[in-house]
Amino acid sequence: VFITNGGCVENSTLGSQDTPAEFKPEIKEGGGWDLWRKIAAQDPSFGHPDKFCYDPELSNWMSATVTTLDQRIVPYIKKICKRDPFSGKVVTGGIVTVTDSNWLLSWTLNRQQQFRDQPKDQLCVWVYSLFTDKPGNYIKKPMRDCTGKEICMEWLYHLGVPEDQIEDMATNSANTVPCMMPYIDAFFMPRAAGDRPDIVPEGAVNFAFLGQFAETARDTIFTTEYSIRTGMEAVYTLLNVDRGVPEVWGSVYDIRCLLDATVKLRDGRKITDMEMPLVGKLAMKEALKKIEGTEVEKLLKEYNVI
């Protein structure tokens, strides 16, 4: 038996353009948290689920997808990310966080089209906020009480859309679907050793835990890889499969990976193509002279940095 105990998307609810996503954190009979509680009651080695799900006010946040329906919002996106969102390349290049937002609102726009059947003239933007109980800067309501349209209005306000155009754009130029997730940050709740069960508890021969709330030494939480590694470890251990679980790729310590990622984030442009003052160009030219014929120059050329 392979058990997914707990679940960060348990109790999630969807709203619509005209209805809020309800905040309904009550743990239901038969859900992932209820299952884990019943298992944990039998033995301490099965973990302590209430360390993670005891207060959804501390673990919730909301997200929303904004689908643009015409071209009116697009110039405001381009002004911030300095890229054409219809190019098929990197758009925001990461998450844009509105640091003075009462909701601590962030948004990101990945390569479009994000979905296979998405119309070519539409964009799909992911918006989310951490403080769902605080009134917004423009919409004076907590995010959890807002319709999709109202969430879009708050986002447009932070994009810099003139206030006399915000409501019309949110109504006619976008469709916004909110999602409330009461336990999305549950795995970040304070915990101690033993609060999550081992993937295969000591002495277990026919059951294992997997997912974000099982304990492995190979990875940290909040990654797809974590869930996959716990699944591998569970299957390989119980079924005596002679295969190793891949270790975490140490890319953060590999200068080659960092150089490659930097160039990719710049849409493949070399640093020598950067716009900079004359002083900067002269300094770069001098630096490149000093590395001529060295391994450093060879490395930078290999990864298209220069």
* Position 168 pLDDT exceeds 90: yes
Give which of 142, 108, 140, 138 is closest to 20, Cα–Cα.
142
Residues 6+ apart with CB under 8 A from 100: 137
- % of the chain with per-residue pLDDT over 70: 100
Domains of the chain: 2-56+183-238 (3.50.50.60), 61-181 (3.30.9.80), 251-302 (no CATH)
As a whole number, mean pLDDT of residues 91-119 equals 93
- CA–CA dist 264, 304 (Å, integer): 10
Residue 206: which pLDDT band, with cuts at 50, 70 and 90?
very high
Give the pLDDT score at 125: 97
Lowest mean pLDDT among 67-81, 160-174, 184-198, 254-268: 254-268
How much is the pLDDT for 300? 94
Query: Which residue type is seen at 130?
Result: L
pLDDT for position 93:
82
pLDDT of residue 214: 95
pLDDT of 58 above 90: yes
The pLDDT of residue 226 is 87
Model confidence at 147, pLDDT cuts 50, 70, 90, reads very high
Amino acid at 155: W
Q: Is the pLDDT of residue 154 over 80?
A: yes
| Interatomic CA distance for residues 227 and 225, integer angstroms | 5
- Greater confidence, 218 or 133? 133
Rounded to the nearest integer, the mean pLDDT of the chain is 93
Q: What percent of the chain has pLDDT over 90?
A: 80
pLDDT at 35 over 80: yes
For residue range 246-292, list pLDDT tens digits in order: 888 888 889 999 999 989 888 788 888 888 899 988 998 999 999 99
pLDDT digits (tens, 9 = 90+) for 229-247: 999 999 999 999 999 898 8
Please say whether the dihedral angle defined by the alpha carbons of residues 257, 262, 265 and 266, taken in this order, is positive or negative: negative
Strand partners, 63: 128, 179
Of 64-68, 177-181, 246-250, the poorest mean pLDDT is in 246-250
Q: Rounded to an integer, what distance in angstroms lies between the CA atom of residue 279 and that of residue 277? A: 5
With beta carbons less than 8 A apart as the criterion, state whether 236 and 245 touch.
yes
- Read off the pLDDT of each residue in 154-175 and give the average, rounded to a whole number: 98
Residue with tokens 């270790």: 247
User: Would you say residue 222 has pLDDT above 80?
Assistant: no
Q: What is the DSSP letter of 2?
A: E
Residue 166 vs residues 20, 81, 189, 269: alpha-carbon distances, Å: 19, 20, 37, 35
